[in-house]
Structure 1
Amino acid sequence: MIETQSTISCPQCGHCETETMPTNACQWFYDCKGCAAVLKPLPGDCCVYCSYGTVKCPPIQQGSGCCA
């Protein structure tokens, strides 16, 4: 079962927001709703959910690797 909800935590202000992840593409940018910082994936991660979310993106969950 693939989880499509992930809670992103901003490393700059600590704001947390639960979002629905796209199932067919990576999300490379995310605008924090707390401080307006633009989050980008950390080196080695394919998307913001893999870097800052509580749940990895759907392609990683499926074991198919990076969705880029």
Structure 2
Amino acid sequence: MTAITLQSTLTCPECGHSETLEMPQDACQWFFECKGCGAILRPKPGDCCVYCSYGTVACPPIQRGSSCCS
């Protein structure tokens, strides 16, 4: 079994601010407020969460091979 990575670096598409965060292990995060510019990040169409859209690592449920976050 492959280890699940719990940290991902989110990069704001508005201002470029990056922040490394610990992801929830069993859920998706649908909103995130950028600490650089205050923009509210939401998943891109087809992605389940902000980590899958703007992070360096997909969320843990996707890493485990789940088709969707619950």
| TM norm. shorter chain > 0.5 | yes
Query: Match of 2:51?
Result: 49
How many residue pairs are counted as aligned between the two chains? 68
SS at match of 2:20: strand
Which runs of 5 or more residues in structure 2 are unaligned?
A: none
CA RMSD of aligned residues (A): 0.6
Runs of 4+ residues deviating >2 angstroms: none
TM-score (norm 2): 0.94
Query: Match of 2:60?
Result: 58
Per the TM alignment, residue 64 of structure 1 is displaced from its structure 2 partner at its CA by 1.2
Which runs of 5 or more residues in structure 1 are unaligned?
A: none
SS at match of 1:28: coil
| TM-superposition CA deviations, 1:23-62 (whole Å, max 9, x none) | 1111000000100100000000000000000000001000
